[in-house]
Amino acid sequence: MRNPRVVVPLVMESVVNGFPATRAFQLDEEIEAITRDSLIERLQEDFPSADQLLTVIVTPDPDLISGACVIEDPEDYRECL
């Protein structure tokens, strides 16, 4: 991973996310260390279950989906819960 077109955005993203810039050069090892079990564990611990998610559909036609909770401002999503 020495291509500047790949490395530069990874360095920038690392810094923006509070990691050292050098992390970009260690991502290969970090990714290789991921196992199926570690991924499943991370998903179970840190992500909401499917029943806790809200489906959002953006359309110019508010009547497109019958029974949908229609809002105009994203902050109004709470009205649909």
Q: For 45, what's the count of Cα atoms within 13 Å in the CB-facing half-sphere? A: 6
pLDDT tens, residue by residue, 2-50: 788 888 999 999 999 999 999 988 988 999 999 999 999 999 999 998 8
* 79 touches 71 (CB < 8 A): yes
Distance of CA 59 to the CA centre of its chain: 22
At residue 1 the predicted structure's pLDDT band, cuts being 50, 70 and 90, is: low
DSSP calls for 25-39: GGHHHHHHT--HHHH
The residue ranges of every structural domain in the chain are 4-80
User: DSSP character for 72?
Assistant: S
